[in-house]
Amino acid sequence: MRNLEFKEKMHEYSLWRANLIQSIQMYQQWLIRYGLENAHSTNTILNILTSLQKDRITLAFVAEFSRGKTELINAMFFAESGVRLLPSSPGRTTMSPTEIFYDEEGGSYIRLLNIESRLEDVSLAELKQIPERWIQFDLDCDSPVQMQGVFRELVATKKVDRELADKLGLWNESEAAAQGTVQSDQVEIPCWRHALISFPHPLLKEGLSIIDTPGLNALGTEPELTLNMLPSAQAIIFMLAADTGVTKSDLEIWLTYINRVRSGKTQGLAVVMNKIDAMWDDLAGNNNYEASIQSQINASAAILKINENTIFPVSAKQALLAKVKSDEKLLEKSRLPQLENYLASDILKQKRTIMMGTIVRDLGFLINESYNLTNASLSHASEQLEEFRNVDFQNQTMTGKLMAESRDKQSSYMANVENFQSSRRVFIVQAKMLIDSFSEEKVNAIIMQNKQEITKSLTTYGMKQNIRKLFDELRDLLQDSIDITNETRRLVKAIHKKFHDEYGFKEIEPQLFSVKQYQIELEQVFEEGEAFRSSAKVTMTEQHIVVDKLYSTLVAKAKNILKQAHADAITWSNGALTPLMLQIKDHKKQIEGRLQMLRKINDSKGSVAENIAAIEAGLVPLKQQREELIVMMKAMQLDNFVQSPPEN
């Protein structure tokens, strides 16, 4: 599959996402138009829209030095520039982790973060929000040569004292001695810690984002890269070299930073065996060439313990040359199309499925609630019409009886409202306990206390033990909220059951809050931290800065999880009783409409037929309201989420 087709797949995905956003916005306007919006629905929809609008397809390229990651990126995405856009020539290896995307507001640029920022107690995520901390070079998108020149900064190095290099986690005397490195007062290190590249390439504009990681050293000293950025990528492309197979450092990257992130799953993972052109041998013949490639694939699959079908033999160098020269035969020989086909189909399909799962989870309940309420209103109006058709309105006694029944229902409604407000007050108290159970103040208190103990630690070992203690306390905090959550869930169920049993309200399964997902995520962070801090690289260097960065990254990630739990609890508590509130509101509307119609028929000098016709006309906007909702449900692919509406 050619890059053009991959672009088409991305464009198709982008259009699907845009149509989904438009449909959700239409649903939001529908709620407003018919007076059904509330704080809970508004907040839920805005969160979904924000998530969709910021959505990106992220591909992370991971490998040891000189495996050809950057060359593959050039071949797959930037060949139309006609030049080797990103520096990937021999001896020109990218030194800093690089993110490539399109920033519509910021324009075309490359931003570089100086390597010394590693010494600061500030996360990469925070630094990304401070543009003035980055060195920026503007890009001239009409001049590939100008961009090519600017991108040479990605391979820039400088010499610093060994002491500074050691503090930055880029030098270790014992490791250097073991490798036989010549001792010197000066050490060559990368100039930049991280790079952000934005320019309006069509694929990037469609929402593609690329992460280029420069080898084992960067992975071992940048916890945010391995704990945040790689796990969030839709696909990881792990690269080997066909002429070397799986080396010791390749295997370490695989076991420590990839297999763990993917939990052994191959979905969203491609292993690329690059440099197959090194095995091209016209004298040996095609059969021997194919056998050599297959032999390397078999050996690599056995070592990595994966299926051979997930390994893609490629020549990135020849693929780039083929695309620049429009040489179809050479492109086929490079075998890049098979990899592009996998990314175009499997990854985008997977991303779409995940996104729809989120939409069903977060928006499905609101849609179901809207449908039930709309359909109930239409059903009640239809039943009332049928009842009035069979009533003898010339019989004053009958009319008076109907008026009395409606007034009784009105009195019952007032009792419903009073009971609802009473139940709501009880729920508010319970919900506050739930929200407070993982409040920011409690989380910060635990973190600050442990931070003080970390600061007092004189050894890296002591710091590692305090990291374990921190997570034990955060785990206990979340565990304490479980009992409160369970009690809150029981209360919500009881309130819904009461109104169903005593007042005949439609039984709706309430949306219940759960802390299970936050527990799972927190445990994953803890496991990732354990794996990272015990990795060969960290264990060998025992550098304080590495573990300190690890601590900061883990804390930031844990705080975000608990912050999300806190925010979700607030959102849930605001909407937990909304279905009951809407039913009470609709019940009031029905009673008042019935009384008004009875008075009109009783006092009217016109014929009963004319009044019945007026009731029939009142069904038209209700049917339109339901039809509009059904159309939007189909557009959002949620039409199967509720039962097919009956015909009225």
What is the distance between the alpha carbons of residues 593 and 45, in angstroms, rounded to a whole number?
A: 31
The rounded mean pLDDT for the chain is: 81
Tens digits of residue pLDDT in 570-582: 888 887 787 777 7
Of the chain, the end-to-end C-alpha distance in Å amounts to 51
Tell which wins on pLDDT, 504 or 161.
161
Q: Give the pLDDT confidence score for residue 119 in this predicted structure.
A: 83
Q: Is the pLDDT of residue 585 over 60?
A: yes
Q: Give the pLDDT confidence score for residue 285 in this predicted structure.
A: 58
Q: Give the pLDDT confidence score for residue 313 in this predicted structure.
A: 95
Q: Is the pLDDT of residue 49 over 90?
A: yes
How far are the Cα atoms of 288, 312, 426 from residue 308, in angstroms, in the given order? 19, 9, 59
Q: Which of 509, 519, 517, 522 is nearest to 642 (CA)?
A: 509
| Cβ atoms within 10 Å, residue 187 | 20
Tens digits of residue pLDDT in 188-235: 888 999 999 998 888 888 888 999 888 766 676 777 777 778 888 888
Contacts (Cβ under 8 Å, ≥6 apart) of 233: 58, 59, 60, 211, 268
Give residue 540's pLDDT band: very low, low, confident or very high (50, 70, 90). Answer: very low
Structure tokens at 408: 């009784």
Residue type at 482 in one-letter notation: I
Q: Which of 575, 420, 602, 579 is nearest to 508 (CA)?
A: 579
Q: Give the pLDDT confidence score for residue 587 in this predicted structure.
A: 73
DSSP line for 311-359: EEE--HHHHHHHHHHT-HHHHHHHTHHHHHHHIIIIIHHHHHHHHHHHH
Average pLDDT, integer, range 589-610: 68
Residue 135's DSSP bridge partners are 112
Beta strands in 102-162 (DSSP E): 109-114, 135-138, 157-161
Tens digits of residue pLDDT in 296-341: 999 999 999 998 988 999 999 999 999 999 999 999 999 999 898 8
Q: Where are the alpha helices (DSSP H) in 233-327?
A: 248-253, 286-304, 316-325
Q: Which of 77-86, 457-466, 509-518 has the lowest mean pLDDT?
A: 457-466
CA angle (100, 103, 105) in 5-degree steps: 165
Q: Which of 380, 383, 385 is nearest to 597 (CA)?
A: 385
Q: Give the pLDDT confidence score for residue 206 in this predicted structure.
A: 87
Q: What single-letter DSSP state applies at residue 103?
A: B
φ, ψ dihedrals at 98, nearest 5°: -130, 130
Q: Give the pLDDT confidence score for residue 600 in this predicted structure.
A: 67
Q: Where are the domains of the chain?
A: 3-105+201-354, 157-190, 391-603
User: Taking a C-beta distance cutoff of 8 angstroms, is the pair 438, 566 a contact?
Assistant: yes
Tell which wins on pLDDT, 401 or 297.
297
Q: Is the pLDDT of residue 617 over 70?
A: yes
How far are the Cα atoms of 100, 278, 296, 312, 334 from residue 320, in angstroms, in the given order? 18, 15, 23, 16, 9
Residue type at 512 in one-letter notation: L
Tell which wins on pLDDT, 509 or 491.
491
The residue length of the chain stands at 648
What is the distance between the alpha carbons of residues 35 and 76, in angstroms, rounded to a whole number?
A: 50
Q: Give the pLDDT confidence score for residue 535 in this predicted structure.
A: 60
How far are the Cα atoms of 85, 149, 344, 357, 370 from residue 143, in angstroms, in the given order? 11, 10, 28, 42, 53
Residue type at 365 in one-letter notation: F
Q: Is the pLDDT of residue 349 over 80?
A: yes
DSSP line for 440-466: HHHHHHHHHHHHHHHHH--SHHHHHHH
φ, ψ dihedrals at 397, nearest 5°: -65, -45
Residue 137's DSSP bridge partners are 110
Tens digits of residue pLDDT in 120-156: 878 888 899 999 999 999 999 888 889 888 988 888 8
Q: Which of 186-190, 309-313, 381-385, 545-549 has the lowest mean pLDDT?
A: 545-549
Structure tokens at 215: 């080898």
Q: Give the pLDDT confidence score for residue 542 in this predicted structure.
A: 47
Q: Give the pLDDT confidence score for residue 77 in this predicted structure.
A: 85
CATH number belonging to the domain at 3-105+201-354, selected among 1.10.287.3610, 3.30.365.10, 3.30.1180.20, 3.40.50.300 = 3.40.50.300
Q: Give the pLDDT confidence score for residue 114 in this predicted structure.
A: 94
User: Taking a C-beta distance cutoff of 8 angstroms, is the pair 412, 504 a contact?
Assistant: no
Average pLDDT, integer, range 365-376: 84
Average pLDDT, integer, range 42-64: 89
Tens digits of residue pLDDT in 179-188: 555 567 788 8
Tell which wins on pLDDT, 622 or 604.
622
Q: Which of 161-170, 341-350, 494-503, 510-519 has the lowest mean pLDDT?
A: 494-503
Average pLDDT, integer, range 408-429: 76
Average pLDDT, integer, range 361-368: 84
Give residue 172's pLDDT band: very low, low, confident or very high (50, 70, 90). Answer: low
